[in-house]
Amino acid sequence: MRRITALFALLALAACSQRDTGSKDRTAAASSGAVDLTGAGATFPYPIYAKWFSVYDSLTGVKINYQSLGSGAGIKQLQEQTVDFGASDAPMSEDDVSKAKGGAVLHFPTVLGAVVITYNLADVTQPLRLTGPVIGDIFLGKITKWNDQRIAALNAGVKLPNADVLVVHRSDGSGTTFIFTDYLTAVSAAWKSGPGKGKEVQWPVGLGGKGNEGVAGQVKQTPGAIGYVELAYARQNSLPVAHVKNTTEAFVAPSIESITAAAAGAMPSLGAGSDYRVSIVNAAGAQSYPISSFTWLLVYQAEPDAGKGQKLVDFLKWMYADGQAMAAALDYAPLPTELRQRLTARLSEIRLGSAAP
Amino acid sequence: MSDAAGAAATTDAGIAPLVSGDIEGRSLGDRIYRGVTTVFAAAVPALLALIAIEVLVAAWPAFSRFGLGFVTSSAWDPVRQQFGAAPMIYGTLVSSLLALLLATPFALGVAIFLAEFAPPWLRQPVAFTVDLLAAVPSVVYGLWGVFVLIPFLRTTVSPFLRDTLGLSALPFFAGADYGYHMLSASVILAIMILPYTSAVAREVLLAVPRSQREAALALGATKWEMIRDAVVPYARSGIIGGVILGLGRALGETMAVTMLIGNRHEISSSLFAPAYTMASLIANEFAEATGDVHISALMAVGAVLMLTTLIVNIIARWLVWRVAREARA
């Protein structure tokens, strides 16, 4: 009987260790000493945010604690006013904004990310070329073979195998899925009337992998597989990525430059009066990579605590001035210079020491 | 008679009879001790009730909106706010039962070997190793599954089943094999529940009285006949209990299954087709669930999972009870 008791103790230990796996890194940003500002939200920009907060702390002594709980959790915590700022890979909907207890919320783009198409075709050495409608039909299950006429027409001279296409998508809710389906909705009518866009959608075909590593792992292991991951993840793991046709009929490789170019191409829609809750997929410009997106910091327009509000504004100013230069080293695309100036000017819209109207 | 007088009376009598009313009144320390243990004992059912109520309240909007369709429909579309959990219920039950089918013979074999055949010096190390399987974190099983089990199943087991044995005509083995499917998840679950079933079965077999074995041998039984006819039937209800403990574990297992099952909202008769379980679905979607209906639907899946576990446990209790009654008769 004693051994059974010991076994249950082991069982309890194992259960504990399972619970922990989901929460790793969440509190890694918490440093000792008093914290001046707290934020929560998206996991995708966590590496660059952690870098910014640590450098900013060493420069100014202002400590910012960021918990990468996911965009949804960031929005919820901002609505409940349990954090000083939120962060999200998808802009807040009207419904989300109306539920925020602190009044109007301002969206500040921080850096740019992109979603890339990765695949497993051993004999194809040069990058595959794809268009939006073809990607849409692959993920809709309408194109089922790699040597399909429509893929072959885009890749003259490439020997495509007569193999089944295996679609791999994210199984967990994710900003990456939002950007990808946002793009497909923009370029494919069949996708728009079919699965639509969201952090999770009803996939017509394919396997689900958890996280970027889940999708990449399944693609790597399965000949003929195709999936989508964040650019940063693909670069750090040297995955093959497809070149995608943009609005100027050019096939563009995903890179820091081509993503920044997409934001520059979208500048006309970001004029005065814009609230920056905009999608920049399929942006104009010859160099633009079409599956690009902002990631945002979410800040209340009215900051009742003037001290905290000032610290937040100061940080954002520094981030647009000096912080942007650190982005590329961590595989995030910096914002175009013109946009940084507009956003810095927009910081004056934050009202310090006033309650919500 | 007052409490103080009662206490005095027992002191006078020298040896106090151990009746509860007497202990209660004896001293402040005893009363506090009794109170504290009562609170602990009551806290666990209260906590369970609280969890169940919270989950049901949060799940109610989804149940009232989709009705019975929630457990019969296969649509799971967060964009259009249509939710049906049938594929997840199916996936949970099939993967767990398949795991049980694979794990139980192994677990019984290990238990019988350790209880009846193993020399004493071998018994402890082997038992310890099997128990250690239970201490491996779920995510490690998942990683091992992705890097070792899946390639092995795909390149060795799957061609053997389909081509060598020619089973590909059966609906269970139809379709393309991409490695991430019901069978992979069931095999990893089987390995994960094996130590639970085997540890319980081993202890129960060791607890069978020596006289039971000696009686069988005295009647001229071989060792095999002794185990089959005298030892295992005697331990039957305990062994079933161990199997059910394993099943309960398989139903709720999340991480390793999520990594191997392919996460597809679809019911397929083929074991080589990707599937989904209730626990995996909640783990995948809860963090980024958008909209109240979606969150409520996930809570409803949690409620269905709790109910499934409850029903399985009731059936298990009933089985153990029936077996125990037969043994007495």
Could you give the count of Cα atoms lying within 13 Å of B152 in the half-sphere of its Cβ? 10
Q: Does position A159 have pLDDT exceeding 70, yes or no?
A: yes
- Nearest chain B residue (CA) to A175: B288
Whether A210 and B284 lie within 8 Å, measured CB to CB: yes
Chain A residues touching residue B301 (CB < 8 angstroms):
none
- Taking the CA of residue A313 and the nearest CA in chain B, the distance in Å comes to 28
Q: What is the pLDDT of residues A126-158, one digit of tens each?
A: 999 999 999 999 999 999 999 999 999 999 889
Q: Chain B within 8 Å of A3 (Cβ-Cβ)?
A: yes
ipTM (interface predicted TM) = 0.80
pTM of the model: 0.83
Q: What is the pLDDT of residues B198-249, one digit of tens each?
A: 999 999 999 999 999 999 999 999 999 999 999 998 898 889 889 988 998 9
When scoring B123, B290, B292 by the number of chain A Cβ atoms within 10 A, the one with the most, hence best to mutate, is B290
Phi, psi of A124 (to 5 degrees): -95, 110
The residues near A208 (Cβ < 8 Å, ≥ 6 apart) are A168, A169, A170, A171, A214, B262, B263, B264, B274, B276, B284
The residues near B268 (Cβ < 8 Å, ≥ 6 apart) are B175, B182, B274, B275
Q: What is the pLDDT of residues B41-51, one digit of tens each?
A: 999 999 999 99
Q: Chain A within 8 Å of B289 (Cβ-Cβ)?
A: yes
Whether B178 and A166 lie within 8 Å, measured CB to CB: yes
Q: How confident is the model at residue B6 (pLDDT cuts 50, 70, 90)?
A: very low
Residue B231: alpha-carbon gap to chain centroid: 25
Q: How confident is the model at residue B17 (pLDDT cuts 50, 70, 90)?
A: low
Chain B residues touching residue A175 (CB < 8 angstroms):
288
Q: Which of residues 314-333 of A touch B (CB under 8 A)?
A: none
pLDDT score of A34? 74
Do residues A172 and B287 touch, judged by C-beta distance below 8 A?
A: yes
List the single residue in A21, A210, A221 with the smallest CB-CB distance to B150: A221
CA distances from B296 to A272, A333, B81 (A): 40, 37, 11
Q: Which of residues 145-184 of A touch B (CB under 8 A)?
A: 164, 166, 171-175
When scoring B205, B239, B285, B288 by the number of chain A Cβ atoms within 10 A, the one with the most, hence best to mutate, is B288
Chain B residues touching residue A171 (CB < 8 angstroms):
258, 263, 280, 284
Residue A209, token pair as written in the block: 């992998």
Q: What is the pLDDT of residues B96-126, one digit of tens each?
A: 999 999 999 999 999 999 999 999 899 989 9
pLDDT score of A270? 79
Task: Give the Cα separation of A319 and A303 in Å (integer).
Answer: 19
Chain A residues touching residue B262 (CB < 8 angstroms):
207-208
- Taking the CA of residue A259 and the nearest CA in chain B, the distance in Å comes to 25
Q: Chain A within 8 Å of B203 (Cβ-Cβ)?
A: yes
Q: Does position A16 have pLDDT exceeding 60, yes or no?
A: no
Indicate the SS3 state at residue A245. strand
The DSSP 8-state label assigned to residue A325 in this structure reads G
Q: How confident is the model at residue B53 (pLDDT cuts 50, 70, 90)?
A: very high
